Amino acid sequence: MTGRSPPCRAHPRPEKHFPPRDNELGKSARKCHTSGMLTPNRKEYAQKIPREELTHLILKLLQAWKEPLSHFNQHIEHHQELPDDSLSKAKQISKELPDDSLSKAKQISNMVHELKTGVEKVTEKMQSMGIISNSLNGMASSEAAGLSISNEANMMSDSDFIHCFRRDSNKVQSYLKILKCRIMPENSC
C-alpha cells in the first residue's frame, strides 16, 4: 500500500483500502443497517482518511442511528406499557433487555443527539477556521437520510441492535479521537 490516503468516495474502488468486515473467523454474521457504509474498521486505516472525509463519515454514522434509536425507544416503551398478560409474553420475547432498558435507550438516544450536535458544532468551527471546506453543509439531513435503513434496523433482534449500536459507537469514538489528535496535536496522542 502506498502512502496515499484512502478516499472514501472519489476513488472508483475504495473497498480495496478497507479490509472485509463482519465475516472474519470467530465473528458472528450480524448484519447491521449501517453495514453498507464504507468505514475503516482499523485505526491505521482511519488515520489515513483526510479530516473532512472523516468528519463526513462521523456525521453519516450518527445520522444513520437517529431513526432506528427512536424506533427502539418506542419498542421498549411499548413493552413497558402492555397489560399484565401481554407484558409477560413481551418479557419472554425480549429477555435479553435489562430491566432498566427504557431509561438506557433514552440515555443512548440523548447521547447520540448530543454527540451529533457537538460534531456539527466542531465541523462549523473547523470550517470557519479553514481547516475543512464547506462541502459538509447539508450532508447530515440530505445524504445520510438516504442511509437510514430503518426497516433493517427494526427487524433486528434487540441484542443485534445493541451489538450494532455499540460497534458504530466505538467507531465514532475512535474517529473523534483521531480528529482531535490531528486538530490539537499538543494533546500527545
pLDDT of residue 137: 52
Whole-model pTM? 0.60
**For residues 103 and 111, is the Cβ–Cβ distance under 8 A?**
no
Q: 16 is written with which cell numbers?
A: 480495496
pLDDT of residue 147: 45
pLDDT of residue 101: 63
The list of the chain residues with pLDDT below 50 reads: 1-17, 20, 22-28, 86-87, 89-91, 93, 139-150
Q: How many C-beta neighbours within 10 Å does residue 168 have?
A: 21
pLDDT of residue 175: 92
pLDDT of residue 120: 79
pLDDT of residue 11: 40
pLDDT of residue 174: 92
